[in-house]
A = this chain, B = another copy of it.
């Protein structure tokens, strides 16, 4: 018994909007343990929609539709479904009352086109819409096949799903076996290298382990099927521990952790503070750190030294070294880190200077060359050189630079 998500809307085929409903529903189905093997997108076209229904009804038992429930003539989902199963539409008086009331609340009168939204297939139950005018339906057009319809507007879909679809599905026995996952996060190791290190685990059946790569980091997803979240966690925990041990320092956190939150947690525990000096990232490192609510406990601020005059004036970088070694150099990175640490009076100073491109590179100092400076307690200062290459583009070079800076601080905090 599995489900298919069918999103109806020409705007999806034109690429006007991102299909976030499919992602939301996919997550929700996984949570309830309802297997879901297909998603289909089709336009506001009755013939093609009927073909999609025919294919889906032959391969799954639950069809979940989003979109096409609005008041305009191209909103055809409900009538096409009814037509496919040869069932007439009937006007539901409660829906008429609900729509009239909602319009009255907004000081408006129901337009005739909204009357269309009260038509549902004979025998279907109304799925109330607490926030909008378009209700959905729950319908069994034939034994063993259940149809849900939802509006395409996410802010209407979410509460309808939670308040009516979830209780209904649970009453049908769903949610007794669930899929629960943990996402383990790694920095400083490539996907294929990590996959080889943990290759024995990639063939497990429960929990399963799979690798994902994106934006400079690698993730391992550990997913367990069990009767409850607690039971799933008990299956995941020992495997998670083993994977973390194998990866060593390259593992930095799980699920919603990111390098900024992990570094923040370490600094808070140590009661130490941080300031930053940013050149090519232009504030991006500070932004990452302050994305974390409560970061003011350990992050005091910094200097965006985009122009060399700021490096000299505010950070005390030696103008002769700037001339001799250039702004993108290990010595300038170190002086920036020392400068911001001393200037702001923090435990740590972390700096970034580099060439994010696409212009500004030379043979000797190509685009993607980045230096990270890290100044710590006492006169301890180090720097790290990276060559990210040109192919990643400006935005990704800046993103991985800021993360590489945080990762160096993380490793230092864990190993000093």
Binding site for B on A (CB under 8 A): 10-20, 22-30, 36-43, 45, 48, 51-52, 55, 59, 70-74, 105-106, 108, 111, 113-114, 130-131, 153, 155, 179, 181, 183, 190-193, 195-196, 202-203, 210-214, 221, 223, 276, 278, 280-287, 289-291, 293-296, 299-307, 309-310, 313-314, 343-345, 356-359, 389, 391-396, 398
* A344-B309 contact, Cβ under 8 Å, with A105-B389, A202-B73, A287-B287: yes
* A196-B295 contact, Cβ under 8 Å, with A23-B17, A283-B278: no
Q: Is the pair B291, A300 in contact by a Cβ cutoff of 8 Å?
A: no
* A111-B23 contact, Cβ under 8 Å, with A30-B15, A293-B358, A357-B293: no
Number of identical monomers bound together in the oligomeric complex = 2
Q: Could you say which residues of chain B place their CB within 8 Å of the CB of A289?
A: 282-283
Q: Is the pair B13, A106 in contact by a Cβ cutoff of 8 Å?
A: no
* A37-B42 contact, Cβ under 8 Å, with A19-B22, A283-B304: yes
Name the prevailing secondary structure of the A interface residues: mixed
* A196-B111 contact, Cβ under 8 Å, with A283-B287, A284-B287, A290-B283: yes
* A195-B344 contact, Cβ under 8 Å, with A10-B210, A389-B105: no
Q: Could you say which residues of chain B place their CB within 8 Å of the CB of A193?
A: 108, 111
Tell me which of A45, A202, A303 has the highest count of chain B C-beta atoms within 10 A of its own C-beta: A303
Q: A15-B22, A37-B48, A302-B303 are in contact. List 8 more A-B contacts (CB 8 A).
A: A40-B40, A51-B59, A130-B391, A282-B299, A284-B286, A290-B304, A303-B303, A314-B344
Interface pairs A-B: 9 shortest CB-CB: A283-B286, A282-B290, A283-B283, A15-B26, A15-B27, A39-B41, A300-B307, A301-B310, A301-B306
Q: Is the pair A296, B306 in contact by a Cβ cutoff of 8 Å?
A: yes
Q: Could you say which residues of chain B place their CB within 8 Å of the CB of A294?
A: 359
Distance of A391 Cα from B314 Cα, bound (Å) = 38
Distance of A38 Cα from B211 Cα, bound (Å) = 29
Q: Could you say which residues of chain B place their CB within 8 Å of the CB of A299?
A: 282, 306-307
Min CB–CB distance A64 → chain B (angstroms): 13
Among B22, B24, B300, B304, point to the contact of A286 (Cβ < 8 A).
Answer: B304
* A71-B296 contact, Cβ under 8 Å, with A130-B391, A282-B289: no
Min CB–CB distance A77 → chain B (angstroms): 15
Distance of A106 Cα from B278 Cα, bound (Å) = 25
Distance of A181 Cα from B11 Cα, bound (Å) = 11
Distance of A235 Cα from B214 Cα, bound (Å) = 41
Name the CB-closest residue of B to A219.
B16
Q: Is the pair A304, B307 in contact by a Cβ cutoff of 8 Å?
A: no
Among B45, B304, B309, point to the contact of A302 (Cβ < 8 A).
Answer: B304
Q: List 25 A-B contacts (CB under 8 A).
A: A12-B26, A12-B39, A14-B223, A15-B23, A16-B210, A19-B22, A19-B39, A37-B42, A37-B48, A40-B41, A73-B202, A108-B190, A111-B193, A113-B196, A155-B392, A155-B396, A281-B287, A283-B284, A283-B304, A284-B290, A286-B306, A301-B310, A301-B314, A309-B344, A314-B344
